[in-house]
Structure 1
Amino acid sequence: MTPPRATGEGPPRRYDTKIAVIVRDDLADWQKLHVTARLSSGIAHATDQVVGGTYEDASGNTYLPMFRGPVLVYTGYSPALTRAHTRALARGLTTALCTEELFTTDNEDDHRAAVRAVAAEDLRLVGLAVYGPRSAVVKVTKGLKLHG
């Protein structure tokens, strides 16, 4: 899909997919930023279509590619994250998650093991990222407020 105003002509177009990151309200600011960054890095691997091409300035410097579309960041308390997680799984959406153990483990292997040890409905989520068709992601995030 052509990104909005990629050619500078015509009206902006809506993206047919959406990325939403949901972080728990009661986290410290640094934790919210950390969780958002980690979750976004997971979504970057969802499909080959989620990330665009590299950037280059007029001086010839190149820069890493970024998501093709916007990333909306929402906040919610623990029950809201659980509800969004349940909705995302029911719709088969691509998800990334962070649990409370992220802050207590000191390596990725231990964090993955901590997630693996807990049933989906019992996960202590601190963040969730969702990628998929726009309408499905809107249904997952319904009732959440945008961070800000």
Structure 2
Amino acid sequence: MQTDTAPVRFDTKIAVLLRDDLAAWQRLNVTAFLVSGLGRAAPEVIGEPYADADGSAYLPMFRQPVLVLVGGREVLGGAHARALAGELPTAVFTAELFRTGNDRDNRAAVRAVGRDRLDLVGIAVYGPRNAVDRVLKGARMHP
């Protein structure tokens, strides 16, 4: 019997994998951008809106934790290939996006490069726990 106080175990996982040579501000910026599209692509990841005891309304957030991991270029490239092969919802952030200033230019920068030549600095993936774990092989938890 499940109660409201029982721990929640999710069948899915949200994870961000960052390249390990990014500056702290870059890691935060990339993480925010990468997870921003998940709610639209997988609306089930979004919980209910929040409200405080005074009735102030707040936006809904993810209903489950977001794991943040790091790895070198090779780990990131392998994870990217496995995510695409597994057809998991995937977001990418490339080094070129640090030099653009808007969504149109961001999309153009990614579109200009073949998938095997993307200079990836981060990816986000969502899907069944086991599939996401396989994608992230070789990555380690962010310190």
After superposition, the CA RMSD in angstroms is 1.3
Tell me what 2:134 maps to. Answer: 139
**1:89–1:6 distance in 2 versus 1, CA, 3 Å:** farther
Alpha carbons 2:16, 2:69 under 8 Å: kept = yes
Gaps of 5+ in 1: none
Q: Which consecutive segments of 4 or more residues in structure 1 shift more than 3 A?
A: none
Alpha carbons 1:46, 1:131 under 8 Å: kept = no
Q: Which of 37, 49, 59 is the aligned partner of 1:54?
A: 49
Tell me what 2:4 maps to. Answer: 7
SS in 1 for 2:10: coil
Q: CA deviation at 1:104?
A: 1.1
Q: CA deviation at 1:121?
A: 0.8
How many aligned positions are there? 142
Gaps of 5+ in 2: none
Whole-angstrom CA distance in 1 between matches of 2:130 and 2:3: 23
Tell me what 1:38 maps to. Answer: 33
Q: CA deviation at 1:138?
A: 0.6
User: Which residue identity does 1:140 align to in structure 2?
Assistant: V
Whole-angstrom CA distance in 1 between matches of 2:104 and 2:15: 25
Q: CA deviation at 1:46?
A: 2.1
TM-score when scaled to structure 2? 0.94
**1:122–1:26 distance in 2 versus 1, CA, 3 Å:** same
Q: State, as a whole percentage, how many aligned pairs show the same letter.
A: 56
SS in 1 for 2:30: helix
